Amino acid sequence: MSDSAERPPRRPRYGGKHPRGFEQKYKEHDPARYPDTVAKVIASGKTPAGSHLPILMDECLAALALEKGCIGVDATLGYGGHAARFLEMITPGGKLLGMDVDPIEQPKTVARLRALYPEEEFEAVRSNYAGIARVLGARSLAGVDFVFADLGCSSMQLDDPQRGFSFKTAGPLDMRMNPARGLTAAEWLAKVAAAKLETALREHADEPRAEQLAAALAGQSFATTLALATAVRACAGGLDEEMAELTVRRVFQTVRIAVNEEFTALDGFLRVLPDCLKSGGRAVMLTFHSGEDRRVKQAFQAAERSGIFSSISDGVVTASAEERRLNPRCSSAKLRWAIKA
């Protein structure tokens, strides 16, 4: 390189032998260039920074029974791990619609999948899954062969401190799936009444200390994730460390669900789901806590009783011990499936 040539900017230095911050883990952010590093991270039971490990993949594929030529919807595209496998199974001849509301992560996923699949095989849609009927109607699709939804928060969102989902790292208290819409978590907490927060803590997270926590947190100002976590721990005085952390998890889960109106969206999705499937079409849902699973279970059971679904899963399918070892985040995952009559 000549002296006059412009040198590329150096990466910021970090202390210690290994990078610790989300942005510092540049090798994990580039799995195509550093596959060995990513493989080591996964083998250690961790999720590489900026990615998401698809959960219960084999069980999802078995429940969906995909074939070449199938047309379906991944209603929660996320990192695209499930979508990539679905596309392998249904193409050529099939098509997948990938829905997601996240304007930060969706373009990255679309770029990865578009390198392998043209528009006629994979189409990305910026929409909440509650809008699935509108999305199909706009494409003159009366019904599809399968619908898949992986509920909750993705690892990319959880691990990025700037998204404000995690209490483990400092970041702005945001938690919005779509940062361009709605109140941040900080704004929501500053406005919410104690009675409303108490109800949310009970309904969204089965929190046993809902009244005490709501009285302490509602209407307060918390600019950062760590500020809220500290306030919750102070409220949970007397609990051992493990129970205190569970309380913090439940509070963060509650606020995230409220900020993104997740249960409103899920209820809307479940109401229209049967009409979005062809006869014999299959739905597979992954849930991660009791509030989600209860809604899916009740909706599937009601549709089976009324004859709309011909068959539903008897119970839940959970991850194997080996998958839980490799990916601890799958430990709470529950799979339910249904087949339309």
68-101 per-position pLDDT tens digit: 999 999 999 989 999 999 999 999 999 999 999 9
Q: Please provide the size of the chain in residues.
A: 341
At 328 the pLDDT is 87
Closest CA to 133 of 254, 247, 34, 271: 271
Torsion of CA 242, 246, 248, 250, to 10 degrees: 180
Confidence grade of residue 246 (pLDDT, cut at 50, 70, 90): very high
Tens-place pLDDT, residues 146-205: 999 999 778 878 888 899 889 988 999 999 999 999 999 999 999 999 999 999 999 999
| Tokens read off for 16 | 């210690």
Average pLDDT estimate for 319-337: 90
Structural domains of the chain, ranges and CATH numbers in brackets: 57-155+263-340 (3.40.50.150), 158-261 (1.10.150.170)
Name the average pLDDT for the chain.
88
Closest CA to 51 of 72, 74, 27, 73: 27
Average pLDDT estimate for 329-337: 92
Average pLDDT estimate for 237-245: 86
Across 6-20, 198-212, 282-296, least confident range: 6-20
Question: What percent of the chain has pLDDT above 70?
Answer: 85
CA angle in degrees (0–180, nearest 5) for 81-84-90: 140
DSSP conformation letters of 203-262:
HHH--TTHHHHHHHHTT----BHHHHHHHHHHHTTTS-HHHHHHHHHHHHHHHHHHHHTH
First-to-last alpha carbon distance for the chain, in angstroms, is 68
Count CA atoms within 13 Å of residue 21 on its CB side: 11
Res 31 pLDDT > 70? no
At 237 the pLDDT is 79
Q: Are 236 and 243 in contact (CB under 8 A)?
A: yes
Res 323 pLDDT > 50? yes
